[in-house]
């Protein structure tokens, strides 16, 4: 929206996106936020119900500056998002990248990349946008799959709800690198370093009723 490159390349920090600790790990860089969001598809969506917090795992996809979250029309957060005011939410995505083992128990930590999005979620009511959002969800989770599955029909689209959350109030937090032991601990005899952690995909398991002549597609076997 702004003409200045710096504003276009970063989200504006707000009171609730500036962390109270480890501020040096926080970033508002748009490209970094997009990269972290695009590298996952499972988020934790928080909302308030009867004054108390609720956090549920949900699938999401990013399209430009908007996140789409999928769910049935009967689920709690989606009902709230259908009301006129929308639903205040906090959507968080966390990649665990490593266990960081210091010589001292105190300095043990993890390497991670996370994004926290604050905003008001709204139901997507436009049929064309909802259909496009569902395609984006399937394609984001399994690239190549939209062209290799039966598209949703009108009845299925009517039974599915999608909520949208715009990327305005957003921050990323990243920790990388090795342990940070205190100088007086460097001579201790304990191994120290990082145990890398990743998400791994196994061999595709065909459904019992799959025609055996249909081979697993390349977009799965090369993942």
DSSP track, 20-35: SS-GGGEE-BHHHHHH
The span of 4-12, 29-37, 61-69, 195-203 binding a copy of itself (CB under 8 A) equals 195-203
Region 198-217 residues binding a copy of itself, contact defined as CB under 8 A? 198-211, 214-217
> What residues are paired with 112 via a beta bridge?
96, 175
**Taking CB under 8 A as the rule, does residue 194 contact a copy of itself?**
yes
Among 114, 129, 174, 175, interactor with a copy of itself by CB under 8 A:
114
> Should residue 83 be labelled a site residue for a copy of itself when binding is judged by CB under 8 A?
no
Greatest extent of the chain over all pairs of C-alpha atoms, in Å: 67
Q: Which is nearer to a copy of itself, 1 or 207 (CB)?
A: 207
Give the residue from 171, 172, 177, 27 showing the smallest Cα distance to 111: 177
Identify residues 39-58 at the interface with a copy of itself (CB under 8 A). Answer: 42, 44-57
Q: How many residues bind a copy of itself (CB under 8 A)?
A: 94
143 lies in the binding site for a copy of itself (CB under 8 A) = no
Instruction: Return the range that interacts with a copy of itself (CB under 8 A); candidates 2-10, 28-36, 61-69, 177-185.
Output: 177-185
Distance between CA atoms of residues 197 and 111, nearest Å: 9
Q: Candidates 4-12, 29-37, 60-68, 94-102 — which segment interacts with a copy of itself by CB under 8 A?
A: 94-102
* Minimum CB distance to a copy of itself, residue 144 (Å): 11
Contact flag: residue 18 with a copy of itself (CB under 8 A): no
Contacts of 106 (CB under 8 A, 6+ apart): none
Which residues, at least 6 apart from 55, have a Cβ–Cβ distance to it below 8 Å? 44, 45, 46
Residue 97 dihedral angles phi and psi, to the nearest 5° = -110, -20
């Amino acid at each position: 929206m702004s003409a200045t490159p710096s504003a276009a390349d970063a989200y504006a920090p707000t009171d609730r996106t500036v962390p109270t600790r480890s501020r040096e790990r926080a970033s508002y860089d748009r490209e970094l936020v997009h990269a972290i969001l695009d590298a996952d598809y499972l988020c934790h969506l928080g909302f308030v119900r009867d004054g108390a917090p609720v956090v549920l795992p949900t699938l999401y996809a990013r399209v430009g500056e908007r996140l789409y979250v999928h769910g049935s029309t009967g689920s709690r957060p989606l009902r709230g998002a259908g009301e006129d005011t929308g639903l205040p939410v906090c959507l968080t995505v966390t990649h665990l990248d490593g266990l960081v083992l210091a010589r001292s128990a105190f300095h043990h930590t993890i390497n991670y990349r996370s994004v926290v999005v604050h905003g008001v979620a709204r139901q997507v009511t436009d049929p064309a946008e909802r259909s496009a959002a569902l395609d984006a969800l399937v394609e984001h989770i399994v690239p190549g799959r939209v062209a290799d599955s039966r598209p949703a029909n009108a009845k299925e689209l009517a039974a599915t709800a999608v909520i949208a959350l715009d990327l305005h109030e957003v921050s990323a937090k990243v920790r990388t690198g090795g342990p940070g032991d205190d100088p007086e601990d460097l001579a201790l005899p304990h191994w120290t370093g990082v145990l890398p952690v990743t998400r791994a995909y196994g061999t595709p398991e065909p459904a019992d009723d799959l025609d055996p002549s249909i081979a697993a597609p390349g977009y799965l076997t090369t993942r």
